[in-house]
C-alpha cells in the first residue's frame, strides 16, 4: 500500500510538473542564441531585454554590430535592457549604457499553432541623439491586441552611433563606416528575420514604422540596398525627406577635431576613452553619406527611382513647427527670409481671412516646407513605381488641450498610434480614445495586408492623384490636392527652416 501511495504521489507530482511545463511553454520561446521566457498580462505576452547583438563596447565601439553570445538555460525576459548612451534617456526609466542593443517583443497571448502573425518593428525618434525602446510611450501591448507582433529596438545614438574618422574609414568592411546606428537597425531586422518565427510571427510580413529620426531611418533603409528583403512594408511618420546626410569628408573632419580635443592620438585611443568623454557634445548627429552603406541622399534615391519598392504609409502633423519653436520667436524675421513673391503668395494662402496671425503663418510655412512637401514628394515618387502608397495629415489634438496649442505637434500622433494616451495633465475623452482606436486599426490593417482600410473605417484612398487622409477633430476624411498651391510654391525652397 505504501508503495502504491508513493507511486500515486510521484504520478501526481509528475502531473503538476507537466501542467507547469505546459504553462511555461506558452511564454517560452527558443531563439538562435538561447531560450527566453516572457510575461503574460491582459491578453498580451511580452519579452523584453533580448540582446540582438553583442555589446558594442571596447574594441567593438564604432564597429558593425556582431552576433550576440549564446546563453544556457532560460533567460527571463521581463525587463527592458539599458537605453543607449545619451544625455537623458527620453521617456525611459532605464539606465543608459553602451551595452544597449536589445529588442522588446509583444504578441497576443493566445495564438494558433504554427501561427504566422504580421510583425511591426518600431524605430524611435529623437534627433539621433535621444530615444529608447524602453519608453512607455512605445509599449506595444495595445497594438498587439489587434493581432500583430510588435518589436521595438534600440540603436546607438549621438557620437556612438554616427561617427566618422579616417582610421575607421580604412578599417571599414562591406557595411561601410560612420552609420553605426543604421547598422544596428539592419542587424535588428536581421534578428527579426531569423527569430520572429519562434514567437509566431511571419518573417515575410514585416512592417517597419518610425517617427522623426526613426522615420528618417526608415527612409534611409528604403534607400540602402543592403536592407532589401528585411521588411515588406513601411510607415513613415514625420520623416522629413529632404534633409541631406553629412558628406563623409565633413564627418571625418568633425571626428578628427573631436579626437584632437579629447587628446586621442589614434583610433585605439578613441576606443579607450570613457563613455562619458565620448558623450559630451552639443553637436548634431545623424546619417553619413559614406558611399557604401548609404550611397545617396534620400530625395535623390527616390527621385531616381532607386528606392526599395514596398507598400507604404507616409504622413506628418499640422504643427510640426513645434520642433523648431526656438526659431519662430520672431515670425516676421522668419517670413522675411522668404523670396518676396513667395512670401506674399504664401501669406495670402495661409491666411485667407487676413487675420494677421504671423506666428500661425510662419508655423504653417515651416511645417509644410520641412515635412508636408517632402512627404508628398516621397509618396508620389513611390506611387510612380506601382506600389500602393497612402498619405495622411494628422491634426487631431486631445479635446482638453485644444486651447493651449497651435495644432498637433511633432510626435503627437505616436500616443494615438500605440494607444498609450498617457498625458497626466489632461483627461482623455471618448473622442480622443476613438481616434486612437481608429489609428491603431489603420496601422495594423496595413501591417496585415498592405492596405489600411477595413470594416467600419472611413475609406483611405491610395495616393494616386495627390490624395491624403485628413485626421482631425471632425474625424477622418479624404482630400485631393491637399495644400497643393502652398506645397508647389515651397517645392523649390530650401528645407532648413
Q: Which residues are catalytic?
A: 212, 320, 410
Cα 333 to chain centroid, rounded: 34
Q: How far is CA 473 from CA 144, 350, 393, 431, 460, in A?
A: 26, 19, 12, 8, 17
Is residue 188 within 8 A of residue 121, CB to CB? The reply is yes
β-partners of residue 235 are 209, 313
Is residue 431 within 8 A of residue 399, CB to CB? The reply is yes
Is residue 368 within 8 A of residue 486, CB to CB? The reply is yes
Helices (H), 162-310: 166-171, 180-195, 213-223, 248-262, 267-272, 275-279, 298-303
Name residues whose C-beta falls within 8 Å of residue 302's C-beta, 6 or more positions apart in sequence.
222, 223, 377, 378, 381, 382
Which residue, among 285, 287, 255, has the nearest Cα to 273 in the 3D structure?
255
Helix, strand and coil percent figures for the chain, each rounded to 5: 40, 20, 40
Around 395, how many Cα atoms within 13 Å sit in the side-chain half-sphere? 18
* Pairwise CA distance, residues 371 & 358, whole Å: 19
Report helix angle 358-367 to 340-350, nearest 10.
110
Interior CA angle at 421 toward 41 and 411, to 5°? 120
Name residues whose C-beta falls within 8 Å of residue 39's C-beta, 6 or more positions apart in sequence.
27, 45, 46, 47, 48, 77, 78
Which residue, among 490, 466, 495, has the nearest Cα to 480 in the 3D structure?
466
Is residue 85 within 8 A of residue 161, CB to CB? The reply is no
* Pairwise CA distance, residues 86 & 124, whole Å: 14
Joined grid coordinates for residue 96: 543608459
Amino acid at each position: 500500500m505504501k508503495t502504491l501511495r508513493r507511486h500515486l504521489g510521484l504520478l501526481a507530482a509528475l502531473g503538476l510538473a507537466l501542467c507547469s511545463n505546459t504553462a511555461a511553454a506558452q511564454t517560452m520561446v527558443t531563439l538562435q542564441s538561447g531560450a527566453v521566457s516572457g510575461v503574460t498580462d491582459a491578453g498580451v505576452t511580452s519579452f523584453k531585454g533580448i540582446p540582438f547583438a553583442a555589446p558594442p563596447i571596447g574594441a567593438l565601439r564604432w564597429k558593425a554590430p556582431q552576433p550576440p553570445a549564446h546563453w544556457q538555460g532560460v533567460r527571463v525576459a521581463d525587463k527592458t535592457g539599458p537605453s543607449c548612451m545619451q544625455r537623458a534617456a527620453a521617456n525611459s526609466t532605464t539606465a543608459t549604457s553602451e551595452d544597449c542593443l536589445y529588442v522588446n517583443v509583444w504578441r497576443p497571448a493566445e495564438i494558433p499553432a504554427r501561427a504566422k502573425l504580421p510583425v511591426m518593428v518600431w524605430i524611435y525618434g529623437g534627433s539621433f541623439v535621444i530615444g529608447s525602446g524602453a519608453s512607455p510611450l512605445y509599449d506595444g501591448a495595445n497594438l498587439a491586441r489587434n493581432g500583430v507582433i510588435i518589436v521595438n529596438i534600440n540603436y546607438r545614438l549621438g557620437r556612438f552611433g554616427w561617427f566618422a574618422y579616417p582610421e575607421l574609414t580604412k578599417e571599414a568592411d562591406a557595411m561601410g563606416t560612420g552609420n553605426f546606428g543604421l547598422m544596428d537597425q539592419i542587424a535588428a531586422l536581421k534578428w527579426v528575420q531569423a527569430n520572429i518565427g519562434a514567437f509566431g510571427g511571419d518573417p515575410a510580413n514585416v512592417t517597419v514604422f518610425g517617427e522623426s529620426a526613426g522615420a528618417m531611418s526608415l527612409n534611409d533603409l528604403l534607400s540602402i540596398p543592403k536592407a532589401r528583403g528585411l521588411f515588406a512594408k513601411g510607415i513613415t511618420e514625420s520623416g522629413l525627406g529632404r534633409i541631406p546626410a553629412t558628406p563623409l569628408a565633413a564627418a571625418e573632419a568633425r571626428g578628427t577635431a573631436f579626437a584632437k580635443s579629447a587628446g586621442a592620438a589614434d583610433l585605439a585611443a578613441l576606443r579607450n576613452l570613457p563613455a562619458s568623454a565620448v558623450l559630451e557634445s552639443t553637436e548634431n548627429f545623424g546619417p553619413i553619406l559614406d558611399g557604401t552603406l548609404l550611397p545617396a541622399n534620400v530625395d535623390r534615391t527616390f527621385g531616381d527611382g532607386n528606392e526599395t519598392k514596398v507598400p507604404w504609409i507616409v504622413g506628418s502633423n499640422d504643427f510640426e513647427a513645434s520642433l523648431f519653436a526656438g526659431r519662430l520667436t520672431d515670425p516676421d524675421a522668419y517670413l522675411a527670409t522668404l523670396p518676396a513673391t513667395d512670401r506674399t503668395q504664401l501669406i495670402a494662402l495661409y491666411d485667407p481671412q487676413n487675420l494677421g496671425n504671423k506666428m500661425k503663418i510662419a508655423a504653417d510655412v515651416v511645417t509644410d516646407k520641412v515635412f508636408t512637401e517632402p512627404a508628398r514628394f516621397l509618396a508620389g515618387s513611390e506611387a510612380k513605381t506601382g506600389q500602393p502608397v497612402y498619405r495622411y495629415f494628422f491634426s487631431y489634438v486631445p479635446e482638453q488641450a485644444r486651447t493651449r496649442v497651435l495644432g498637433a505637434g511633432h510626435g503627437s500622433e505616436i500616443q494615438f498610434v500605440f494607444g498609450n494616451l498617457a498625458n497626466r495633465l489632461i483627461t482623455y475623452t471618448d473622442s480622443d480614445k476613438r481616434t486612437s482606436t481608429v489609428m491603431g486599426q489603420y496601422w495594423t490593417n496595413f501591417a496585415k495586408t498592405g492596405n489600411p482600410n477595413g470594416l467600419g473605417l472611413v475609406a483611405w484612398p491610395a495616393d494616386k492623384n495627390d490624395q491624403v487622409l485628413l485626421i482631425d477633430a471632425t474625424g477622418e476624411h479624404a482630400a485631393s490636392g491637399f495644400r497643393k498651391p502652398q506645397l508647389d510654391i515651397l517645392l523649390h525652397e530650401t528645407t532648413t527652416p
